[in-house]
Amino acid sequence: MSIDTVSKAEETPDQAQPFAELGLKPDEYERIREILGRRPTSSELAMYSVMWSEHCSYKSSKVHLKQFGDKKPETDKLLVGIGENAGVVDIGEGWAVTFKVESHNHPSYVEPYQGAATGVGGIVRDIISMGARPLAVMDPLRFGPADAADTRRVLPGVVSGIGGYGNCLGLPNIGGEIVFDDTYLGNPLVNALCVGAMRHDEIHLASAKGVGNLVVLYGARTGGDGIGGVSVLASETFDADGPAKRPSVQVGDPFMEKLLIEATLEVLHAGLVEGIQDLGGAGISCATSELASNGDGGMHVWLDRVLLRDATLSPEEILMSESQERMCAVVAPENVDAFMAIIKKWDVEAVVIGEVTDSGHLTVDWHGERIVDVPPRTVAHEGPIYERPYARPSWQDALQADAPTADRLARPTTADDIRATVLNMIGAPNLASKAWITDQYDRYVLGNTVLSQPEDVGMVRIDEESGLGVAISTDCNGRFTKLDPYTGTQLALAESYRNVCASGAIPLAVTNCLNFGSPEDPDVMWQFAEATRGLADGCLQLGIPVTGGNVSFYNQTGDTAILPTPVVGVLGVIDDVDRRTPIAWNEDGELIYILGDTNDEFAGGEWANHVHKHLGGMPPKVDLERERLLGEVLVAGSRDGMLSAAHDVSDGGIAQVLVEMALHAGSGARCWIPDNIDPFTFLFSESAGRAVVVVARTEELRFTEMCAARQLPAQRVGVVDSGLGPDAGYPAGTQVLQFNDWFTLTLDELHEAHTKTLPALFA
Amino acid sequence: MARVVVDVMLKPEILDPQGRAVQGALGRLGFTGVTDVRQGKQFVIEVEGEITDERREQLHVIAGELLCNPVIEDFILIVEEDQ
């Protein structure tokens, strides 16, 4: 085995290098040569190629993501902003929370179980590297058509991977999304969110400061995981009979991750750590270059000290390996013994692999030979930045002109047809109960889960004494975003914001996971530019900052990109989880109100999608001032004890909301369709800025006066009633949802229609 | 009647958390000198009649597509005829 060293690189400047196979463009390779003043060694080439990849460098998205900083609303809640592993938000009482969502789309397509499992593991390490204790995870998922053969391969694997890893790790899975669409066949989206909490003085950052401090790698051993791409280098440096092809599948070990959480939090709380970084994509390359770049600018690494699972790994492979459950800490020399003792107590292996220097260079030695000598900023932070060309797609106007009017798409008009449509819609894969999936996740481990699926949000308690808690929702309707990326992204933000308010929590911060097709396609890049502009403008208007996020490009099959899917997560705080608002109504006599305006808005909605397979027109209008007003009313209603229940209206419209509330409560209601609107529009339109709330009779006057004072439309449309069965011709005890003289549905048939879909497809 | 045994193991480079757990337990129980443990699974399949080339091919398909996950596992198929 011959090693490519810096001196060898200087001697052989003309040696051909496989930069293209590693994903580098010729001009990027030239720039590396310019930076170094020579050809890179194969190890340097490996580092640059992976750190300058789209995934690590954000080279196509950076110019657009800048807006989240430029348009940041005034806030004193943000303790750590964009750029660190995850943003940190002040929630009061000395507590801070950090949350972030990341994609693990491509690995989950190759190997669904391990791809999804390691996605959870990766985001959890991001949270612990901020010094926070992970509290819960959520998973926004997108798959191909529910009845497609490949969905039957991918979905069960992804679901058991998420469940297997999260359940073993002991973190509750409190929500997320499951959406089916043709464009995700061949490119499912597996996004993972984690939220953690810490005291204000426990925040830690990724930087290597203090010359002479030592760099410690700890956790699982380094193996050949996730280094498929670098095999072109390995094939050059390995003997002909060496391992021919390395697997690129990373395998997770949740029990090791649990040890890593406890060991990491203990060394952080003991004050033994100067800087810390998790190892995710790009492994040691990323951790060392980012730590050095954020710190005093120099680091030296003895790469041969890295503990290996597979002794045959080449230095290039060790630098690139994405083996899971590893962390990197910067520790002062006098603290190393104490640090090692704690790590060892948790049965975790650790080794000093380097030290902080003031050389301004990241240098790496392999058995005494210098194989890397680079300025770390050029690897970690000063990678290429592209202003990718973008243009409004030529088909966009035609798409928007194809509105789902009553002439274009046949609408049900008779009572029987509408009744059948309700049953059909609540069983549509996108609207059907997701219990078959979420029941595979442990929602209650740790004992702090207050709300989880199918509620509007996931809510966990943080402080057992005061009841302080946080609520999180993630949302995105990719069909809206396809019709109009700017509006669609604001609709995703609005829905997430509304969900948090409906639970009684006050929205504080935003994270995102922007899943798009190829940035080299001007159509896709336009979608991305519009989506980021929409999100930044929306966050500014709602006064909640973006604290971090993730971009995933190249989500496409052949030339067909996925629906643009900017998943938006909103985090809110609630001062006492006891006053949360659930979605289920409580007792007979409570009054059902609809807040907001219902218009004829079906474009991109689930009815047009499920019944007509139609996508066209302009998405529902978004009015963020109305959303803010609605949010204030929902939060005030919760705080003053006026609301028994609340549920955001979005996918599937009011019909879906009333059915979910009734099924969750297990008791029926008498509803009436207002005179000023046709029943179909009332039940199925997906106008934004609406919620259904349930108010006790004793609170009705106070609540309606509050709405009137704030000029928020509120219309009474029903009353909770568990005794309607006999009147409607059913045996006593039968629970029914009745729409005055239009039609009646029993909860049994609603339950059957709502819950049978997923088990029939996947069980 | 013929008996076919299929051994499925994780590929050598793939992390085996179960094997590592067993290895750790051996150390704690005082069994020294064990440097590595990897855990796999074994399928014992009984088939009718003789193992023809066609049947052998079919068994390879079964082993490669159903019994193992070819992305992360390898298999070895051994035919024990005339039980």
Question: How many domains would you assign to chain A?
Answer: 1
Q: Tell me, what's the ipTM?
A: 0.71
The CATH number of the domain covering residues in B2-81:
3.30.1280.10
Alpha-carbon distance A609 to nearest alpha carbon in chain B (angstroms): 35
What is the reported pLDDT for A236? Answer: 43
| A156 has a chain B CB within 8 A of its CB | no
What is the span of the domain harbouring residue A253? Answer: 6-59+206-380
What is the reported pLDDT for B50? Answer: 84
Cβ distance of A114 and B20 shorter than 8 Å: no
Q: Could you tell me the pTM of the whole model?
A: 0.92
A315 part of a folded domain = yes
A247 part of a folded domain = yes
User: A585 φ, ψ to 5°?
Assistant: -75, 170
> Which tens digits make up the pLDDT trace of B7-63?
999 988 788 888 988 998 998 999 999 999 999 999 999 988 888 899 999 999 999
What is the reported pLDDT for A242? Answer: 40
A340 part of a folded domain = yes
What is the reported pLDDT for B2? Answer: 87
Cα separations in angstroms, A314 against A240, A311, A367, B44: 14, 9, 12, 38
A350 part of a folded domain = yes
| B56 has a chain A CB within 8 A of its CB | no
List all residues 6 or more positions away from A522 whose beta carbon is below 8 Å from its beta carbon.
Answer: A388, A389, A390, A391, A393
Q: What is the DSSP code (8-state) at residue A91? A: E
CB A102 within 8 A of CB A195: no
| Residue that has been written with the tokens 């580092």 in this structure | A47
Cβ distance of B69 and A256 shorter than 8 Å: no
User: Using a CB-CB distance cutoff of 8 angstroms, which residues of chain B are in contact with residue A220?
Assistant: 15
Angle at A715 between CA A714 and CA A721, to 5 degrees: 125
Out of B12, B24, B72, the one facing A251 most closely (by C-beta) is B72
Cβ distance of B15 and A114 shorter than 8 Å: no
Query: How confident is chain A (763 residues) per 10-residue block, as mean pLDDT?
Result: 86 90 91 94 92 89 92 85 78 94 91 93 92 95 96 95 93 95 95 95 79 94 75 44 53 92 95 90 89 86 93 89 92 96 95 94 94 92 92 97 94 95 97 94 92 92 96 97 98 98 97 95 97 97 93 90 97 96 95 97 97 97 97 96 96 97 96 92 97 96 97 96 89 92 94 96 90
Out of A243, A251, A347, the one facing B15 most closely (by C-beta) is A251
Domain CATH for A341: 3.90.650.10
Per-domain residue ranges of chain B? 2-81
Torsion angle of alpha carbons A711, A717, A720, A725, nearest 10°?
180
Measured distance CA(A568)–CA(B79) in Å, rounded: 55
What is the reported pLDDT for A581? Answer: 96
